[in-house]
Amino acid sequence: MTEPRLFVDQDLLANQPLTLTGNQHHYLAKVLRLGAGATVKLFNGRDGEWRAVIDHMTRQGAEMELTEQLRPQTPEPDLWLLFAPIKGKRVDTIAEKAGELGVSRIMPVITHRTVVSRVNVDRLRANAREAAEQCERLSVPEVTEPLDLRSAVGAWPRGRTLLFADERASATPIAQALQSLARESARPAAVLIGPEGGFTNEEKELVRSLADCVPVSLGPRLLRADTAVFAMLALWQAHQGDWRGGDAGWPD
Ligand code: SAM
């Protein structure tokens, strides 16, 4: 059996005792039926990845000790995903795939044509965390509370490129836009995808008014919002992020 891999809040230091409680304890004790002597991998987004050995499995928790650091913490691409929440399970899939595709922050944004009335942020967080545990990344994306598009644009941090997926517009083809950006040094970036009904003209003008906005086209076919998210994230990782291999140029 492969070693379970869990995200924890606690600091991870050599020979440190640590107890996992709650859902993580239940998962190790009842679902996986692990006991003393079994090992698990732990990460917290700060101290790299560690192996821990279970000393005691009690009714209250899984008591373990950290034995070795398996990987040091390394810098990860600084990529945000802004997306208008969509209906049903596809919104959970977006959080899961964003976790796998190396997004650092997931931001649900409410637009004029967003039809979802309530966003289950806790479920998005759980999906993003499980994806990070499974895909072996060393951090978990932050998932923010939903905010409206106007507020997101109003608070836009200077210098963060916003790749705006602008359907039905004469926007720059995505490959061309990413090739131009790749000539610059690594910059923080974000991608913005609209709802099923698309953006209003006013919203498009608002987003385009940002100095850091780069409107892009994803080709001649109208993609579903979740497809557009996955395509944009994969293309960005290949051109600007850690799919390029070697030193992707991310600062410590
Ligand atoms: N109902 C809209 C329309 O008819 O124009 C389409 C919205 S589309 C289903 C959802 C989102 O995916 C869009 O707002 C956009 O951000 C993105 N998207 C889909 N296809 C795209 C394309 N070919 N180019 C750029 N963005 C696209």
Quickly state the pLDDT bin for 64 (edges 50, 70, 90): very high
* Amino acid in position 139: S
For residues 240-252, average pLDDT: 71
For residues 36-63, average pLDDT: 97
Q: How far apart are CA 215 and CA 191, in angstroms?
A: 10
**What's residue 251's pLDDT?**
52
**What's residue 36's pLDDT?**
96
Higher-confidence position of 26 and 244 = 26
* Domains of the chain by start residue, with CATH: 5-71 (2.40.240.20), 79-239 (3.40.1280.10)
The mean pLDDT of the chain is: 94
To test the pocket of ligand 1, the residue of 222, 226, 233 to mutate (highest count of ligand atoms within 8 Å of its CB) is: 222
pLDDT in tens, 88-98: 899 999 999 99
**What's residue 182's pLDDT?**
80
CA of 217 to the centre of ligand 1 (A): 9
Nearest-CA residue for ligand 1 atom 27 is: 167
CA of 58 to the centre of ligand 1 (A): 52
Full-model pTM: 0.94
Atom of ligand 1 at shortest range from CA of 216: 25
pLDDT in tens, 133-147: 999 999 999 999 999
Asked whether the predicted pLDDT for residue 186 surpasses 90, the reply is no
What are the residues whose beta carbons fall under 8 Å from the beta carbon of 46, sequence distance 6 or more? 11, 12, 73
Q: Kindly tell me the burial class for residue 89, based on how many C-beta atoms sit within 10 Å of its own C-beta (0-12, 13-18, 19 or more).
A: exposed
Do β-strands 161-165 and 142-143 pair in parallel, antiparallel, or remain unpaired? unpaired
CA of 112 to the centre of ligand 1 (A): 15
**What's residue 147's pLDDT?**
96
What is the signed CA dihedral for 24, 123, 108, 243, rounded to 10 degrees? 50
Asked whether the predicted pLDDT for residue 245 surpasses 90, the reply is no
Higher-confidence position of 5 and 2 = 5
